[in-house]
Homo-oligomer: A and B are copies of this chain.
Amino acid sequence: MRSGIEKQVIQYLYTDRELSCSALSERIEKSVPMVMHALNQLMKRGWVCSTGYAPSTGGRKPLLYSLVPEAQYIVAVAMDQLFTRIQVLDWLHRPITQLETLALPLHDNEQATDILVQAIHKHLHASSVNVSKILGVGIGMPGFVHIQKGVNYTFLPTPNGESLRAYLQKQLQLPVLIDNDSSLIALAELRFGMAKNRKHVMVINIGWGTGLGMIVNGTLFRGHTGYAGEFSHIPISENKILCECGKRGCLETETSLLLLAEKAKEEIRQGKVSQLSTLFKANMHAVDAVLEAANNGDEYAIELLSDVGYKLGKGIAILIHIMNPELIVLSGRGAKAGKILLAPVQHALNKYCIPRLLENTEIAVSKLGFEASLIGAANLVMENLFEWN
């Protein structure tokens, strides 16, 4: 990739699908002749093609360009503490292989890394994807991920302390990029979701725990050592419950869906009346059961989620005071029940936020939903295009 312009053209076409030469020129802030040159180079390589004319806006019709979707593929991997999803996507996020979900608990799991490698290997072999067309593998994972070093300090250990990224790269014989799951969800929202073209957005990853991906000045914010957004462990609660992190009073102890599901199970056992009693027996994770029951209007499930929403809202109030974002996006697994969470979150914000700050902050539920993690993983590969060795 000679010119930086070519790279930018690819990235803009990836996020915006179809753009004219002059539109690209404005975005990249380079002259039309230079962008035209880059487009011609990319067309020669077969990565870009023109896709007809856009309607005139008062003058000559602009010729539109877009990526050739099937020119290159990306392996997107979205991991959480319990499940891992794998899928090959093209440049339009269209699935090339069927989504594969495997149960892969990461906690204290020495074999996790090798299971992951085997799963990706098998996925690629089972589907007859042309491996030479694969640009790279993007993996979103929980834990303290150091992206420069390519290390995950929390999960997915490697033999003899090699960096996870290097190990995966060696095993898979493909370029591999890893990042924190919440960061990738935020990235997905920034490029393709509700945070698109926004500057300051907080994306809440409502999953087994509570994650945060921060968009600051239009880019993903990582902080000094890459661990910014440790939202779930801010000391805020007086409940004294011991958190996984070893401290007490973490926000996570009040908003974790995993803990909520435990509580629900216990109360159902003690005779609470709810749809959940049957759903819990179905082949479905307890958390998903609660989310589904709430969406079906089950009073008890709604009550449980509302409580989480209110506590979350108090945490978000802190976030708004410090960051003054224009938008808060509720995303991740819990976005399925986003509508139900929205009201109590808003309620808490009204109570805990200075009106001048709140009035300019929008609260929304992700439209990408649970797909955000996969899209973010794919996007990670695209954003780091040709920067690996």
Contact residue among B224, B234, B314, B318 (Cβ-Cβ distance under 8 Å from A324): B224
Q: Please, which residues of chain B bring their CB within 8 A of the CB of A249? A: 352
Closest chain B residue to A198 by CB distance? B224
Bound complex: CA of A224 vs CA of B356, how far in Å?
12
Bound complex: CA of A360 vs CA of B153, how far in Å?
15
User: Can you list 17 pairs linking A and B with CB atoms under 8 Å apart?
Assistant: A217-B217, A222-B324, A224-B324, A224-B360, A225-B360, A227-B324, A227-B356, A227-B357, A228-B323, A230-B321, A230-B357, A231-B321, A234-B321, A245-B354, A247-B354, A319-B322, A322-B322
**Taking the complex as formed, is A163 at the interface, i.e. its CB lies under 8 A from any CB of chain B?**
no
Contact residue among B214, B230, B238 (Cβ-Cβ distance under 8 Å from A354): B230
**Taking the complex as formed, is A333 at the interface, i.e. its CB lies under 8 A from any CB of chain B?**
no
Q: Please, which residues of chain B bring their CB within 8 A of the CB of A159? A: none
Judge whether B361 and A224 touch: CB under 8 Å: yes
Bound complex: CA of A167 vs CA of B98, how far in Å?
65
**Taking the complex as formed, is A46 at the interface, i.e. its CB lies under 8 A from any CB of chain B?**
no
Q: Please, which residues of chain B bring their CB within 8 A of the CB of A361? A: 224
Bound complex: CA of A173 vs CA of B234, how far in Å?
49
Judge whether B231 and A322 touch: CB under 8 Å: yes
Q: Please, which residues of chain B bring their CB within 8 A of the CB of A223? A: 200, 323-325
**Taking the complex as formed, is A95 at the interface, i.e. its CB lies under 8 A from any CB of chain B?**
no
Given A223-B324, A231-B321, 11 additional A-B pairs, CB 8 A: A200-B224, A224-B324, A227-B324, A233-B321, A233-B354, A234-B322, A235-B314, A235-B318, A236-B236, A249-B352, A322-B323
Contact residue among B199, B226, B230, B236 (Cβ-Cβ distance under 8 Å from A224): B199
Q: Please, which residues of chain B bring their CB within 8 A of the CB of A217? A: 216-217, 221
Q: Please, which residues of chain B bring their CB within 8 A of the CB of A314? A: 235
Counting chain A residues whose Cβ lies within 8 A of the other chain, the interface size class is 35 or more
What's the minimum C-beta distance from A234 to chain B, rounded to whole angstroms?
4
Interface string of A46-60 (1 = CB under 8 A from B): 000000000000000
**Taking the complex as formed, is A317 at the interface, i.e. its CB lies under 8 A from any CB of chain B?**
yes
Judge whether B325 and A235 touch: CB under 8 Å: no
Copies in the complex: 2
Q: Please, which residues of chain B bring their CB within 8 A of the CB of A216? A: 216-217, 221
Interface string of A352-378 (1 = CB under 8 A from B): 101011001100000000000000000
**Taking the complex as formed, is A144 at the interface, i.e. its CB lies under 8 A from any CB of chain B?**
yes
**Taking the complex as formed, is A140 at the interface, i.e. its CB lies under 8 A from any CB of chain B?**
no
Query: A199-B224, A224-B360 known; A317 and B234 CB under 8 Å?
Result: yes
Interface string of A293-304 (1 = CB under 8 A from B): 000000000000
Closest chain B residue to A230 by CB distance? B321
**Taking the complex as formed, is A229 at the interface, i.e. its CB lies under 8 A from any CB of chain B?**
yes
Bound complex: CA of A163 vs CA of B319, how far in Å?
29
What's the minimum C-beta distance from A182 to chain B, rounded to whole angstroms?
12
**Taking the complex as formed, is A307 at the interface, i.e. its CB lies under 8 A from any CB of chain B?**
no
Q: Please, which residues of chain B bring their CB within 8 A of the CB of A114? A: none
Closest chain B residue to A317 by CB distance? B235
Judge whether A356 and B153 touch: CB under 8 Å: yes
Q: Please, which residues of chain B bring their CB within 8 A of the CB of A292? A: none
**Taking the complex as formed, is A288 at the interface, i.e. its CB lies under 8 A from any CB of chain B?**
no
